[in-house]
Amino acid sequence: MKNSIKALAAALAATMMAGSCCNNSSDSVTLKVTREMECDVLVVGGGAAGIGAAICSARHGAKTILAERNGCLGGMATSGLVAPFMSSTTPDGQTLLIRGVFEELVDRMIAQGGAIHPLDAKIGTWTAFRDKGHHGLGTFDYECLKRTTEQMCVEAGVDLMYHLLFVKADKKGDKITAAYFATKDGIWKIKAKNYIDCTGDGDIAAEVGVPYVYGDGEGGVQAVSVFFTVRGVDGKAMARHNEDCIRRGDYEGQWYMNEIKAAREAGEFPSWRNKIALFENLDGSYTVNMAQSDDVDGLDPKQVTDAEVEGRAQIDKIVKFLRKYVKGCENCTLDATADQLGVRETRRIEAVYTVTTEDAKNSVSYPDPIFCCANHMDIHRKGYVEYVARNTNDPFYIPYRALLPVGISNLLVAGRCAGAERPVMAAIRVIPPCFAMGQAAGTAAAISVADGVCPQNIDSQKLISTLRADGVYLPQ
């Protein structure tokens, strides 16, 4: 199949290239490959995991291409307006756990006035007044993140390619031989020695037959959200209300839970969120996480579309609710809505090792740790968030083997599709851990190329020592 690719028509409908089809049948379509490229490491997906993977792969000498479907890097942190960075510290906010390329990025953004270091973040407007699980958040500027991640990729020698949508891969034996992308120019074919799936959904892994678990294994998935930003919020008034409620022990009043319940019954509050959640940004705007839809399949474009339309309809009502009920928000106005739906859960691949909930609860040690974190295991359900308690406040670890899909020798995964049980995924799906997984995957892929072995056969101790030399915190 040198110059053509056969794929299901449904998967290729997104190409929208008139006149490029030939030899069509009722259930398939043949499209010409218009461009071919080769590299050492192909990273698919330019979110947190893909950024970390591409930068570290290129820095360690591998010819690296980063293919991203959008027109910027950052994934949910930019296109999804998801801010701030969730915790990257110990539960008390005193020790930074996720370092390496993530901390380097934060430091570079701070130098431009575009971020606050997680160790300097204080409970208050920056954290939506939340305490539990919200120490060590990292407030950042969306545009600064886009620009700085691009600069770091270019400096490392990454070949950035935007507007590429992955549609299919070729496989021979246990190796991927090529990946195909839909573009305005036609189908592009990229061959690599190693592939890193940073799609979030495990698209490449699923395409080449890696077994996976979808959601809870029975069709259920976490809620999805459309994030948005507002302006005109009086943070001092919000803080006074919060302090007054804490002083009176009024938990429900602190979060306007009774007002939300009454407004929902009156048709004035459209989602099943039961607390307000406004996070202050550096420019004085606030990121709001209150629009939510349930039972949405993040792999189904129609369901995602409907959730995005519904989310923006919800946002109109939520802004009116904020003006009417929330002190400090009387004059707030809608600033922007996310371009992309915030999907918390789809596929989790079957890896060489699957991190279990008991592992994370008890901070189990591994011979091949790649990073540690202390993020809460929180599952977003309809009307509430379920927290899975841990037995220790010590950091828990993720092993390299969790990034290695079974059955494919030249593929790694990084991000929320990695090998972990559902509650663990709920903790490591957020942005700082995804950067850490990406750094490990990219470094491992480059070592694999340099040493002439597949990723599963690299020296894990060499990987660990390299990660430590590159600033990764591994106290174990």
Give domain status of residue 293, yes or no. yes
3-state secondary structure 202-242: CHHHHHCCCCEEECCCCCCCCCEECCEEEECCCHHHHHHHH
Same domain, 230 and 299: yes
Looking at 283, 306, 337, the residue that finishes a domain is: 337
Give domain status of residue 363, yes or no. yes
Chain-centroid distance of CA 462 in Å reads 27
* Nearest CA among 4, 317, 335, 455 for reference residue 187: 4
Same domain, 198 and 314: no
- Residue 65 confidence (pLDDT): 98
Give domain status of residue 80, yes or no. yes
Same domain, 179 and 31: yes
> Which are the contacts of 294, defined by CB distance < 8 A and separation ≥ 6?
223, 224, 272, 381, 382
Q: At what angle do helices 100-111 and 142-156 cross, to 10 degrees?
A: 120
Give domain status of residue 95, yes or no. no
Give domain status of residue 248, yes or no. yes
- Residue 476 confidence (pLDDT): 66
Neighbouring CB atoms inside 10 A of 26's CB total: 5
- Single pTM value for the model: 0.94
Same domain, 363 and 444: yes
Yes or no: say if 410 and 437 are a contact pair by the CB < 8 Å rule: no
Q: What are phi and psi of 277, to 5 degrees?
A: -155, 95
- Residue 29 confidence (pLDDT): 86
Q: Tell me 165's DSSP state.
A: E
Same domain, 371 and 302: no
Same domain, 40 and 166: yes
Same domain, 56 and 165: yes
Give domain status of residue 147, yes or no. yes
- The enclosing domain of 349 has a CATH number of 3.50.50.60
Per-run averaged pLDDT (10 residues), the chain, 476 residues: 42 41 67 96 98 98 98 98 96 95 98 97 92 90 98 98 98 98 97 98 98 96 97 97 96 96 96 95 97 97 98 98 98 98 97 98 96 94 87 95 98 97 96 98 98 97 98 90
Same domain, 154 and 37: yes
Provide the domain count of the chain: 2
> Which are the contacts of 255, defined by CB distance < 8 A and separation ≥ 6?
274, 275, 276
Q: Residue 246: which domain range? A: 224-337
Hey, which residues does 214 pair with through a beta bridge? 347
Looking at 284, 303, 337, the residue that finishes a domain is: 337
Q: pLDDT tens digits, residue range 58-86?
A: 999 999 999 999 999 999 999 999 999 99
* Nearest CA among 152, 155, 156, 183 for reference residue 167: 183
Same domain, 425 and 361: yes
Yes or no: say if 125 and 239 are a contact pair by the CB < 8 Å rule: yes
Q: What are phi and psi of 193, to 5 degrees?
A: -80, -40
Yes or no: say if 137 and 85 are a contact pair by the CB < 8 Å rule: yes
- Residue 142 confidence (pLDDT): 98
Give domain status of residue 121, yes or no. no
Give domain status of residue 117, yes or no. no
Same domain, 317 and 377: no
- Residue 21 confidence (pLDDT): 42
Same domain, 201 and 247: no
* Separation of alpha carbons 159 and 64, rounded Å: 6
Cα–Cα distances in angstroms (integers) from residue 29 to residues 20, 26, 93, 238, in the given order:
10, 8, 54, 57
Looking at 337, 364, 382, the residue that finishes a domain is: 337
> Which are the contacts of 433, defined by CB distance < 8 A and separation ≥ 6?
98, 371, 373, 375, 398, 427
Same domain, 333 and 444: no
* Separation of alpha carbons 252 and 250, rounded Å: 6
Q: What are phi and psi of 302, to 5 degrees?
A: -70, -45
